[in-house]
Amino acid sequence: MSEMPTIALVADDEEAPREQLVAALHEAWPGLRIETAANGVDAWDRYLELEPDLCLLDIRMPGLSGIEVARRIGGRTPVVFVSAFGDHALAAFDAGAVDYVLKPVERERLGQALARLRQRLAPRAAPAGADHADEALAAPAAGDGDAAAAAAALQALIERLAAGFKRPTAPLTVLQAAVGREVRMIRVDEVIYFESDARYTRVVTAAGDALIRTPLKELLAQLDEREFWQVHRSVIVNHRHVASAVRVDEGHMHLTLRGRDERLPVSRHFQAMFKGQ
């Protein structure tokens, strides 16, 4: 049985640097499956779709910055930041929580970053004589305690960097939604949840449902993340309306809502949000 390929997600809004990085990765890591995104919003959507083994993110991107994407990833996947600027904050990456590569990408520096990733994600029990690059990312080498400490260090660093990337625009407060021949003004704080629905996004409130044309992945960047939690690729929920999280089996969980019958799915990536005490 052939092994699943290691997947890398490369996100950069500039085509030339993105293609340069992809070419460098192909050279440094034969057999690596490389997927791309052209902005931060698409990067997050692709992350949820692909569940990649590692992410290389441009720091400055429209929609969501690389730091904001990494913040949403929350330590679940190793991140390498890519930047054209030698910001002083990048020195903090040398602590080992995350890594960075400056543009234009140098093969040697990229090789160093990939070597760190392979050390961090080396398999617990590599087959004797294994020499495939993909096997180097099969599973964490560190114990659970070391892995938890690394994830905590990553998240602490991302939170500190995110403080310098606060977006000047305030979160969305009102939506305009078409309901028949009427354009309804819906206060965002009245929304119970959003759900992607084919070409539209369904907006669910106590007063009823409405459809908007804004894709869920774009809407996410406009919402207050303290109030609205993404729990599935197709669902964003107002956490004030969540009654409970129910684990169905080892891989499945759903949310119940206060005073409503719906059951909202929780994807594997987000189940750790509902661990209990």
pLDDT digit string, tens, across residues 70-80:
888 887 888 88
Q: What is the largest CA-CA distance in the chain?
A: 68
Under the banding of pLDDT at 50, 70 and 90, the label for residue 146 is low
Q: Is the peptide bond before 104 cis (omega within 30 degrees of 0)?
A: yes
Q: What is the pLDDT of residue 142?
A: 42
Average pLDDT of the residues in 238-262: 94
Q: Which percentage of the chain shows pLDDT scores above 70?
A: 75
> Is a pLDDT exceeding 80 seen at residue 41?
yes
d(CA 21, CA 110): 9
The answer to whether the beta carbons of residues 69 and 60 sit under 8 Å apart is no
pLDDT band of residue 237 (cuts 50, 70, 90) is: very high
Q: For residues 192 and 246, what is the distance between their CA atoms, to the nearest angstrom? A: 18
Domains of the chain: 7-165 (3.40.50.2300), 174-274 (2.40.50.1020)
pTM: 0.69
Taking alpha carbons only, the member of 141, 139, 136, 138 closest to residue 29 is: 136
Instruction: Check whether 63 has a pLDDT greater than 90.
Output: no
The pLDDT score that the predictor gives to residue 176 is: 92
Q: What mean pLDDT, rounded, does the chain reach?
A: 81
With vertex at residue 157, the alpha carbon angle to CA 235 and CA 226, rounded to the nearest 5 degrees, is 35
pLDDT in tens, 87-121: 545 554 544 446 788 888 888 889 888 888 877 76
Residue 151 has φ and ψ, to the nearest 5°, of -65, -40
pLDDT tens column, 192-221? 999 997 789 999 999 999 999 899 988 988
What are the percentages of helix, strand and coil residues in the chain, rounded to 5? Answer: 35, 30, 35
Q: Give the confidence band of 126 by pLDDT, cuts at 50, 70, 90.
A: very low
- Alpha carbon 155 to its chain's center: 13
